[in-house]
Chain A
Amino acid sequence: MNSGDIAWMLCASAMVLFMTPGLAIFYGGLVRSKNVLGTIMHSFIIMGVVSIMWVLYGYTMAFGPDLGGGLLGGAKYLGLSGVGADIGPYSDTIPHILFCAFQLMFAVITPALITGAFAERMKFSAFLAFTILWTTLVYFPVCHWVWGDGGWLGAMGALDFAGGTVIHINSGAAALVCALFLGKRKGYGTDQMHPHNLPLTIFGAGVLWFGWFGFNAGSALAADGTASMALFVTQVAAGTGAVLWIIAEWIYQGKPTTLGAASGAVAGLVAITPAAGFVGPVASIIIGGVAGVLCYGAVVMKGKLGYDDALDVVGIHGVGGLWGALATGLFAAEVYGGVNGLFYGNANQFVIQGIGAVAAIAYSLILTAIILKVLDAVLGLRVDDEEEYQGLDVSQHSEVGYRIV
């Protein structure tokens, strides 16, 4: 045990947890005012639901000893039996329960990210059922593949420092299926669907940025040099993402927007996530900068492709995560994380990164589609037209976000 590591990982866990209410505020500002509470609720309640699942069976599915084949963890830690204050298999310096807590926060935010795709139109009951099924059938297995003891992608050498594949590609692919499956919001393309409170969104982006230091630097699982470099490249990539996004839209659309700056920062953060422990500062400028431009392009493309990914989960997390996973295979350098990428003579790493990304995308696409198909038949996914017109706040929760007088 190392008290420095423990202290840092306690902080990092709390910081990562804070990202989810940050996301709630980020998303909440982006929807119309009649849906602000419904949207915030999506993220907020996941903090409760997934915590319960994690204790009962989630942790063991993701991090239990492999069942064989690298696809799923076994039942050893069912109900967190044997997971306590002693050292676990994933770190020699922090308690097993602290590693478990840190990883819980990742399991919380991943399904929360997807909610941006179906914002403003999904039934709360269907959303809850979707969250439980998706986290169980998609997140826990993919988490095991990459990070679990004996997971097949990890064993193959796929690098994913803090969750580019597990979290962002995974949720981005699911978001695409959700957007296609649920269809467009009523009035999409004809009604004005402006963000109702951009200051809220920008504050949410700031909370995400702050929490992301816990996300990326915490993934070192120690208070050490790797964590320090991960924190540093996270900062640089986020800043570069913001700057390059607004430059791109300034050129393309004539004005730099605040939403663009916030979105670009998130895009940079997403892209640096898988690479954080493996690359240096100069690479982080390139990774964050390309993410800013690429994700802006992806978001603009959405309008042309015609699907209604309400809050751009696909464009930012899907595309940003994919770029980050591949960029890890390009820019990884032995001096930082012990592995070389393509630009340091190891082309094989780039291929492995591609395999990991494709596997996660394919699995997430297929399983998400099956889950939605079943839920649509059993519960129905969308609120009815009148409820959608009223907004989710009143129709799903009997509450109103803002009341003047």
Chain B
Amino acid sequence: MKKIEAIIKPFKVDDIKEALNEIGIKGMTLTEVKGYGRQKGHKEIYRGAEYVVDFIPKVRIEVVVEDEQAEQVVGTIREAANTGKIGDGKIFVIPVEDVVRVRTGERGPEAV
């Protein structure tokens, strides 16, 4: 199994959710995060003084899928999150050892 962790622009959340739904991904975890990459942050101006704000709001989406589906999910997220502008985000693919469903105790892919 793989965990797909995508750091994306917050306004892209709905597009990604819909795109993932279409390929059969029904669940995901969302976290509001802050960070910056190559685009850096933004500039604020107060009474002539400039402040550079490094950490800008992003959303982290986490989805766990079976190995063979991972590539499709990555592609779907990439497509839906892409605006072509700097700061669109990153997608990480992380191996997952096991999954446990809390309610039933099911393990592995059944539990996803």
Contact = CB atoms under 8 A, between A and B. Distances in A.
B97 interface: no
Interface in A299-333: 299-300, 302-303, 312
B100 to A, nearest CB: 33
A67 B48 CA distance: 46
Interface stretch (A34-42, A91-99, A171-179, A257-265): A257-265
A377 B51 CA distance: 36
The size bracket of the interface on B is under 10
B48 A195 contact: no
Contact of B46 (A254, A257, A296): A257
Interface residues of A, number: 18
B50 interface: yes
B68 interface: no
A194 to B, nearest CB: 6
A257 B49 contact: no
Interface string B45-57: 1111111010000
A255 B46 contact: no
B51 A299 contact: no
A259 B49 CA distance: 11
Contact of B45 (A257, A302, A312): A257
A260 B47 contact: yes
Contacts, number: 28
Interface core residue of B44, B45, B48, B51 (most chain A CB under 10 Å): B48
A254 B45 CA distance: 9
Interface string A158-176: 0000000000000000000
A249 B46 contact: no
B51 to A, nearest CB: 6
Nearest to A255: B45
B47 A299 contact: yes
Interface in B29-83: 44-51, 53
A255 B51 CA distance: 13
B106 to A, nearest CB: 37
A225 to B, nearest CB: 37
Nearest to A300: B48
Contact of A259 (B46, B50, B51, B53): B46
Contact of B51 (A194, A252, A254, A263): A194
A249 B43 CA distance: 14
A249 B51 contact: no
Interface string A186-220: 00000010110000000000000000000000000
A249 B48 contact: yes
B47 A253 contact: no
B45 A253 contact: yes
Interface in A261-312: 263, 296, 299-300, 302-303, 312
Contacts of B46: 194-195, 257, 259
Nearest to B51: A192
A312 B47 contact: yes
Contacts of A253: 45, 48, 50
Contacts of B45: 249, 253-255, 257
Contacts of A263: 47
Contacts of A257: 45-46
Interface of B: 44-51, 53
Given A192-B53, A263-B47, A303-B48, 6 more contacts: A192-B51, A249-B45, A252-B48, A260-B47, A303-B49, A312-B47
